[in-house]
Structure 1
Amino acid sequence: MSADTSPDQAPSAKFYVKDTCAVSFVKGVLEGNGVPSQNAQIIANALVLADLRGVDTHGINRIPSYMARIRQGVLDPLASPTVTKITPVVAQVDGHNSFGFLGAQLGMETAIQMAWEFGIGMVSVKHSNHFGMSAWIVQQAIDADMMSLVFTNSSPALPVWGGKEKLLGVSPIACGAPGGEGGKPFILDMAPSVAARGKIYKAYRRGEKIPLDWALDGEGEKTDDPGKALEGVMLPMGGPKGSALSIMMDVFSGVFSGSAFAGHVTNPYDPSKPADVGHFLLAIKPDLFMDLGSFRERMQYLYERVVGSKKMKGVERIYFPGEIEQLTHVDRMMSGIPYVEAEIEALNKEAALVGSEKIEILG
């Protein structure tokens, strides 16, 4: 156990959990809420991978909100997605209001299978839910030696540029490509807002403040209070550029799939109806125009050029996109995943509700 001190609040103890124990815990809670074992394994693996990569906003701390939606009857724990082939290189997955992780996993698996045969595979996913960290789906493609694009839409949190009402989702754009032999793959996973909305929820849970340039309160004023920020709007990165990227996510994920769009994706904390999220997934064979070895050599050269470029004053190291998360993954595999006491208590409360085992803390 160690302490983490923020300048704005008292020290908060951290408790460390081994990744395998976190997976087992999440799987137990999911199964206790009616999720079939195979589906629970997919969801648990994806959530814990987010924590391993340091993307704590999309890790197992999402479990209480997901379980609440099951209890509220707006997320079907028993459902599994189905896939329909449209053309040899195009398919659509119907999530049937199951966990978004399941539709995304099946969608990328299907895209990869088509890409192996035809060089490219495109899948639209409809009637889905939140699928966590986009990078885990990109990693699924990288593990198959594939390049990928991963889009999703989400519930309203951003205004369009020049507006003040919530209309667009903080919908991540993600893509990836295999790296050189023994090198780092390229993994981009970013939100079109100044900060991911999950970071505001995390600050709210932990009683922390947020930077003033992240969000506006309900009156349209900048705020460092995460509670007031959740009542207001997130701010798009780069002004109109971030706003346009959010609209693009809605076009490809919502309009194109037949799912909700234009501000009609349901907030994950709204118990009134299913979320109806849409996703767009693309897998590409990297050896379409050259052999895989040559592609990897070129990726390695790109990596070396990027991380070896001249540094601006005060910068000790330049990282390739996704590299910091990969280093965090290695570190947390050894030291465990850190959680604060309030998070452990919230997770154990979910376990108690279904009679599953508490989360095991490293001694």
Structure 2
Amino acid sequence: MTTLSLAEATTWVAAVFERHGCSTQSALSVARALVAAEADGLKGHGFSRVPTYLQMLRSGKIDGAARPSSTRPHPAVLAIDAAFGFAYPAIDLAIAELPQLVSEQGIMVASICHSNHCGAAGLPCEALARRGLVVLLFANTPGAIAPWGGRQPVFGTNPIAFAAPIEGRHPVVIDLALSKVARGPIAAAKQRGELIPEGWALDSEGNPTTDPAKALKGTMIPLGDGKGAALAFMVEILAACLPGANLAFEASSFLDGEGPPPATGQLMLAIDPAAFGHSRFNDRIAALAVAVERQSGARLPGARRVASRARAAQVGIAISPEIRAFGAV
């Protein structure tokens, strides 16, 4: 294993993607996202994505030189076209434009179409929460979850992320997929040649499996069973129907270079707490945080990420020989 500082790792990853046809801006956007996820301990959205991202670049499934663009079809809507590139530059554009627009409108929605895998969805929410906003992000992903009672995937794992500022502290961050586990850890287990725990997935025949290859060809078990499937349906409407993106069952895989661009979507809702006619937001969320943390063993959502990030900043992060070799090709 090679250990690099966060800055060194960002430089290394960006150079890998530039060598494979990414523009400098796009490569740096991808590198920042992967390194941040790895530092936060979210390895399914970190360096394990390098091989599959490069496969998509080589096949043309991702346009590494794409430049996202935005329009304002309505005063409260920022419509972003990712142009079949990586999702990260499009999300960066939303992060850059939303704070000023939210200060004018009180609430704004950014929709993203012609997009791709958006990685650790809590990170862009956290970036906006550090600007004082309350943020929700919805993303649809290629088909992975069957309707409750069905066998064929119709919905993606469809993450929901949320962040809110707490005065004088790190923002609270929630980031969850609507399957019992995200597909990233299953893909990572396949790369390592490891089995996955029971209860994560079903094979293509609808049988429980611990084989990650069979799981990736089958369906994921939704979080909360039927309730999770209903939430995945909701996210399809928010993240695909509203932005005009591909539905999960229309999208090609995020995990290989086969087929056309996935053209999935994301939707970000950003809210200014000061827009509600009172000044009690900071007091109310601080009281809520105290009510959680006063209980022994309880912690605020996102606290584990913050601790992992602090360790990574101090000691660096490791890149496996396999990932280094893949990036050197």
Could you say which TM-score interval applies, normalised by the shorter chain?
over 0.9
What residue in structure 2 maps to residue 346 of structure 1? 323
Q: Distance in 1 between the 2:199 and 2:167 partners?
A: 37
What residue in structure 1 maps to residue 264 of structure 2? 277
**1:318 maps to 2:298:** yes
Q: Distance in 2 between the 1:30 and 1:290 partners?
A: 47
Instruction: Tell me the SS of whatever aligns to 1:288.
Output: helix
Matched to 1:148, the amino acid is V
For the pair shown, the structure with the greater C-alpha radius of gyration is 1
Alignment of 1:95-110 (within 5 A): 95-110=82-97
**1:37 maps to 2:17:** no
Equivalent of 1:253 in 239, 249, 252:
239
Does the Cα contact within 8 Å between 1:111 and 1:120 map onto a contact in 2? no
**1:69 maps to 2:51:** no
What residue in structure 2 maps to residue 143 of structure 1? 130
Does the Cα contact within 8 Å between 1:108 and 1:282 map onto a contact in 2? no
**Per-residue displacement from partner, 1:106-148 (whole Å, max 9, x unpaired)?**
1233222210222111111111111111011112211211111
Alignment of 1:195-234 (within 5 A): 195-234=181-220
Matched to 1:125, the amino acid is I
- Displacement, 1:291? 6.2
What residue in structure 2 maps to residue 238 of structure 1? 224
What residue in structure 2 maps to residue 55 of structure 1? 42
What residue in structure 1 maps to residue 112 of structure 2? 125
Q: Distance in 2 between the 1:240 and 1:49 partners?
A: 33
Matched to 1:318, the amino acid is A
Instruction: Tell me the SS of whatever aligns to 2:326.
Output: helix
Q: Distance in 1 between the 2:237 and 2:95 partners?
A: 19
Q: Distance in 1 between the 2:11 and 2:34 partners?
A: 12
Decide whether aligned partners of structure 1 residues 40 and 262 sit closer, same or farther in structure 2, where only a CA change above 3 A counts: closer
What residue in structure 1 maps to residue 308 of structure 2? 328
- Displacement, 1:262? 4.9
TM superposition score normalised by structure 1: 0.86
Identity of aligned residues (%): 32
- Displacement, 1:270? 4.9
- Displacement, 1:179? 1.1
Q: Structure 2: give runs of 5+ residues left out of the alignment.
A: none
Q: Distance in 1 between the 2:191 and 2:253 partners?
A: 18
Q: Which moved more, 1:259-268 or 1:170-179?
A: 259-268
Equivalent of 1:111 in 83, 91, 98:
98
What residue in structure 2 maps to residue 176 of structure 1? 163
- Displacement, 1:299? 1.9
Instruction: Tell me the SS of whatever aligns to 1:149.
Output: strand
Q: Distance in 2 between the 1:82 and 1:76 partners?
A: 14
Matched to 2:316, the amino acid is G
**Per-residue displacement from partner, 1:141-197 (whole Å, max 9, x unpaired)?**
11211111111101011111101112210110011100132x342111000111111
How many residues align structurally? 328
Q: Distance in 1 between the 2:133 and 2:108 partners?
A: 10
Does the Cα contact within 8 Å between 1:154 and 1:277 map onto a contact in 2? yes
Instruction: Tell me the SS of whatever aligns to 2:173.
Output: strand
- Displacement, 1:34? 2.1
**Per-residue displacement from partner, 1:60-113 (whole Å, max 9, x unpaired)?**
221111111111111111111100111222121111101111112212332222
Alignment of 1:271-310 (within 5 A): 271-289=258-276, 294-309=280-295
Q: Distance in 1 between the 2:220 and 2:4 partners?
A: 32
Does the Cα contact within 8 Å between 1:63 and 1:347 map onto a contact in 2? no
